[in-house]
Amino acid sequence: MYENFRRRKVRSETPGLDILHIIIGIAVVVMAVFSFLDPAEYMFFFPVIFLLAAVLNVVSGRYRYHNAKDRGQSASAVVQTVFGAFFFILGIVSAISIWWR
């Protein structure tokens, strides 16, 4: 009996991107709630929130850039990637100011 053990190929990256959005979105909401309930105790969540936002923007920008059909969509993908870089820098600055004071 022949069994097909090959993995089924996903036709696009969209389901993976959606799952990433859901997981990071839930994590950011939970961390934001804890951060605003007691900011002194959960201050270390702020850099993590910024870094997760950076990851989300860079991954979404990459996805948009590779699936762009015209120049306008490519430009919006670049802008989103720049926002991701901004959030990354903001997360690093926030981490330095919180963890090394």
Instruction: Look up residue 55 and give its two tokens.
Output: 């990851």
How large is the average pLDDT for residues 15-24?
92
pTM confidence score: 0.78
**34-40: long-range contacts, CB 8 A cutoff, minimum separation 24:** none
* Residue 7 per-residue DSSP state: P
* Residue 1 per-residue DSSP state: -
The string of pLDDT tens digits covering residues 22-74 is: 999 999 999 999 999 998 899 999 999 999 999 999 999 999 898 888 888 89
User: What does the alpha-carbon distance between residue 33 and residue 19 come to, in Å, rounded to a whole number?
Assistant: 21
Is the confidence at residue 92, as pLDDT, over 90?
A: yes
